[in-house]
Amino acid sequence: MIAIVDYGMGNLRSVAKGFLKVGVEAVVTSRPEDIDNSDGVVLPGVGAFRDCMANLDGLSLATTVVRCIEKGKPFLGICLGLQLLFTESEEFGHCNGLNVFDGKVVRFPSNDLKVPHMGWNQVTPTRHTPLFDDIEGEQYFYFVHSFYVAPRDESIVAATTQYGIAFTSMVARDNVFAMQFHPEKSQKLGLRILKNFAAFVKKG
């Protein structure tokens, strides 16, 4: 069973429906014991970084998520679920994250491009990960965000995207995968990523 972490914000049902479309059981839950007992964990997210961290802490889910990651449980972060993995965010002032990865969440620089970055954009893999199985080359996925992650350890970067600058659009290390784009909104290729994550979970 895959647990989708419910902290009162985000597009949880659409993520669950995405897994359902590829024949995978995924349960939306805010119960730490459900997450601890799951085979894999998904942390989706939309909204403000500070609010999400406050909700995770208030429901005792922040420590649960970190504990599962440290135990080696397969983990998938989506959009804000990627950003929350980092040390800190500058959104609405400084706010600490889960500190799974060292780095900051920063706003896109001022230029002629609209912020938020919204719509389809090309994702360029920098190395292969199991989530890109059967996905060839550079492909388009759906984004909605005003901030992006700046990892201090470049070895975790799995894909980049251009939007005025080249930014990290996916990271991967061991059991942890996280992406800035929304696979559940990215049609066939997005569903392929969810299916690949479920296959990774099944391998144990």
pLDDT at 10 exceeding the cut of 80:
no
In angstroms, rounded to a whole number, what is the distance separating the alpha carbons of residues 80 and 136?
Answer: 26
pLDDT at 125 exceeding the cut of 90:
yes
Which residues are marked as active site?
Answer: 79, 182, 184
pLDDT at 122 exceeding the cut of 80:
yes
User: What is the token pair recorded at 2?
Assistant: 């895959």
- Please give the DSSP secondary-structure letter assigned to residue 8: S
DSSP letter for each residue of 14-27: HHHHHHHHTT--EE
Q: Which of 17, 89, 4, 21 is closest to 54 using CA atoms?
A: 89
Domain range 2-203, CATH architecture: 3-Layer(aba) Sandwich (3.40)
In angstroms, rounded to a whole number, what is the distance separating the alpha carbons of residues 29 and 40?
Answer: 13
Q: What is the pLDDT of residues 93-118, one digit of tens each?
A: 899 999 999 999 999 988 788 999 99
Q: Domain-by-domain residue ranges, the chain?
A: 2-203
In angstroms, rounded to a whole number, what is the distance separating the alpha carbons of residues 164 and 78?
Answer: 22
Q: How much is the pTM? A: 0.96
